[in-house]
Chains A and B, each alone.
Chain A
Amino acid sequence: MTTKLSPAAPDASSQTTITAEIGAAHTAAAGHRGVLLDFAPYRSSLLRHPTKDLRHADPDGVELVAPVFGQGEVDPLEADLTIQRDGEPIGERMVVTGRVLDGDGRPVRRQLVEIWQANAAGRYVHKRDQHPAPIDPAFTGVGRCLTDDDGSYRFVTIKPGPYPWRNHRNAWRPAHIHFSLFGTDFTQRLVTQMYFPGDPLFALDPIYQAIPDQGDRDRLVATYDHDLSEHEWLLGYRWDIVLTGSHATWREDDQDA
């Protein structure tokens, strides 16, 4: 089952068909918040979404306690994706920073944030990415950091490019950075994608559009922040991330959050 681009099955659907399906799916899902698991315009979701309702469970034991990651495990240099190899990566140098909060507004402190992304040409270093765009030998596209006491994270990187995939004919992903996040409970785990403001591919993309509410979709888009930009060096983007609330009981020392 080898395919040339991403391993999704080739689909002859046109963008017009997919866009119409997105519209119909949004109408059918009116009022739904967050992402849908079953979103037919994203063809790979068809056989990979549960068909039965998620079962309610009260978190127990290990589910109330997130894994811990220490300063010794993450080198501060891992937050700068532009210095991991010899040479300067090609592309638009940028910083992305923001706060990780839980649903009650508390900062998620000293937790692991992992990112991975394509290079400026829209190519991943992954061996199965065969998009015929150049690999940048100076760019791996992988970063890690720990949030600070304020819940803030910060990465220096290169703006990723859009890239084609095989969901349908002439399908292109908007430029994005993948984010992986932990909260204070194991049940707060989140993997998502950060997008860039004003991308013309938003309306066409079935992964971004799997979130039916426009306000929810907007919360995946970073804000350009000129005060973060650095003179003759890089452009600044700000993106805050909110995890679900913690199940843990509030304590007195949480109040200064």
Chain B
Amino acid sequence: MPDKLLPTPAQTVGPFFSFGLCYEGDSQLVPPGSANAIRLHGVVYDGAGHPLPDALLEIRQADADGAIPVVAGSLHRDGHTFTGWGRCGTDPAGHYSFTTLLPGPVAAEAPRFFAVTVFARGLLDRLFTRCYLPQDAALHDSDEVLAALEPERRATLIAEQDGPSSLRFDVHLQGAGETVFLQFPRHADIA
């Protein structure tokens, strides 16, 4: 293996990312109204409890059968291919909303989750988190990340069922209820 290269440092996405990053259909992993479509939505808050009108979320997920899609089509959605990736900027009220499918289990007894990346003006590097499903409560104790968290911190990683086909997942960058954010081993290499 070659010597490690030092990673390029991150910088904030800034206030004007939407004209460069957002595009039509970016948050629609499936067309609205399709069978089994769900809404995954919420609000991104700062440490004063104010919603962020200039945040961006990306999600990555398995398909309904638990398979991880490795297919193109997230930029030009064809209405059929499920690519497992989406992007959504917050609106002036700090709200984001994805139209997608519930992910299936990737492995037996593994609780399902959406991998989530958070960007915002004022946030100097992206944050990773996970959005676990309330339907899998029985499996949460066995999850390595959730099991290590005290109950109130753990709750920040679990979506709330707020309608028959709607999950709510708020993100708190700071303050009471601060979302648990994740660091992966290769990130620690540079710290």
A216 interface residue per 8 A CB criterion: yes
Chain A CB within 8 A of B133 CB? no
Q: Report chain A residues within 8 Å CB of B110.
A: 60-61
Which residue in A37, A178, A188, A217 is a CB contact (below 8 Å) of B14?
A178
Number of A-B contacts (CB under 8 A): 270
Determine the distance from Cα of A50 to Cα of B177 in the docked complex, in whole angstroms.
11
Q: Which residue of B lies closest to A143 (CB)?
A: B20
CA–CA, A245 and B121, complex, Å: 26
Interface check B148, CB cutoff 8 A: yes
Total count of chain B residues near the partner, CB < 8 A:
82
Q: Which residue of A lies closest to B114 (CB)?
A: A62
Q: How far is it, in angstroms, between the C-alpha of A192 and the C-alpha of B125 when the chains are bound?
A: 8
Instruction: Indicate if B136 sits at the interface (CB-CB under 8 A).
Output: no
Please indicate the chain A residues that have their CB under 8 angstroms from the CB of B148 in the complex. Answer: 55
Q: Is the interface of A mostly helix, strand, loop or mixed?
A: loop
The reply to whether B173 and A47 form a contact with Cβ atoms under 8 Å apart is yes
Tell me which residues across on chain B come within 8 A of A246, comparing CB atoms.
186
List B contacts of A116 (CB < 8 A). Answer: 16-17, 19-21
Judged by a CB distance under 8 angstroms, whether A180 is at the interface is yes
Closest 10 CB pairs of A and B: A116-B20, A70-B72, A44-B122, A67-B85, A54-B183, A48-B122, A105-B2, A47-B47, A126-B16, A61-B106
Give residues in A with beta carbon < 8 Å to B. Answer: 6-8, 32-37, 39, 42, 44-52, 54-63, 65-70, 72-74, 101-105, 112, 114-117, 124-126, 128-129, 140-142, 178, 180, 186-193, 207-208, 210-211, 215-217, 219-220, 241-247, 250
B residues within 8 Å of A by Cβ? 1-21, 46-48, 50, 52-54, 58, 60-62, 68-76, 83-85, 103, 106-107, 110, 115, 117, 119-128, 130, 144-145, 148-149, 173-175, 178-191
